Amino acid sequence: MKIIVAGGDGFCGWPTALYLSKQGHDVAILDNLVRRKIDNELHSNSVTPIATLEERVNKWKELTGKEIKTFVGDLNHHDFLTQVFTQFKPDAFVHFAEQRSAPYSMIDREHAVYTQTNNVMGNLNVLYAIKELAPDCHLIKLGTMGEYGTPNIDIEEGYIEIEHKGRKDTLPYPKQPGSFYHLSKVHDSHNIQFACKIWGIRATDLNQGIVYGLHTEETKQDPVLNNRLDYDGVYGTALNRFINQAAIEHDLTVYGSGKQTRAFLNIEDTVRCVEIAAENPAEPGEFRVFNQFTEWFSVKELADKVQKVAKEEGIDVSIDNMENPRVEAEDHYYSAVNTKLRDLGLEPHLLTDEVIKDMLQTVIDHKDRVIKDNVLPSVTWK
């Protein structure tokens, strides 16, 4: 298949592009490289050194003989996107190209507006490009489990059957997002569903849990193919942040009680889930939703796991419950359904001590790159 990976220079997009290329697909990366610029804005960095996109794809071709085309530009520039669709003629469009940090979207008005404008308008441009230039192209859109929030009932896969005053209907599952970033994903989902209904577009919304991990079989082939590893209080997700804190012998900072529970998956499962969606496309007019995660943990459980592995490696760190910078329920019910991807063949990589140990060793190898002031939160919801 001819597959565009938008956001293919990023944490999820880069290993996905390599994996799909290895599997024999004709892959192109579309990216505006803004994530690299945001590092400069935040005075932050990836713990792992990251080569330029050009160096990355050239190394991949040198190692495998497979070419990944690159288009550097912005989804919010519709003329650019039109040229990409016209030249490449994609069978599938994998859409990772959005501002993905909840804290970043909560910094101030400017960052909230940027997040929603970038994400929602860019996604609308993709929908119009598919309608006008590639009507059979399958949109594989990265959503988030954070769209659902933490309801006091089980979270279904996109839809729920409701009985009200003697009548029944199957409706989109209610959304309770927890940041302006998560709200942008909800708006995307509504726009995609509407486009499927009126234009007959085929789309799969992958409501992904929090991704942990670093390496895939493809990124391990050469240091130039390194994936990025974020650790700061803005882009660093809980597990990755704890591992980086342990590597520099900093207390593991748990927000609030630590009882907040979220869905997680390994980066190796992210790339496989995208492949499954691509090879089993939605029908024309279908807005299909997969809950893309493999396990769920409380924040405190993650900190305990990292503390245990660190101790086995000779590193003693304490767990520090700090005031929660977010506005969120800390003691809540959490149970979510995730059967559709498993039914299509997903075999999960689970969070083992060995996975944590491997990540911890990587950070230790590069801990001179960790900016210690960045490991604590700097953004508050209020």
Return d(Cα 28, Cα 89) in angstroms, integer.
Answer: 11
**Residue 272 identity (one-letter amino acid):** R
Q: Reduce the DSSP state of residue 31 to 3 states and report it.
A: strand
| CA dihedral angle for residue 217, residue 218, residue 219, residue 223, rounded to 10 degrees | 110
Return d(Cα 296, Cα 230) in angstroms, integer.
Answer: 21
Helix ranges (DSSP H) in the chain: 13-22, 34-42, 53-64, 78-88, 102-105, 109-116, 122-133, 180-199, 238-247, 267-279, 299-312, 340-343, 353-365
Tokens encoding 202: 């085929």
Catalytic status, residue 308: no
Identify the active-site residue in 19, 104, 173, 181: 181
Catalytic status, residue 144: yes
Angle at 240 between CA 234 and CA 241, to 5 degrees: 50
Catalytic status, residue 181: yes
Q: Reduce the DSSP state of residue 170 to 3 states and report it.
A: strand
Identify the active-site residue in 16, 48, 115, 144: 144
Residue numbers annotated as active site: 144, 181, 185
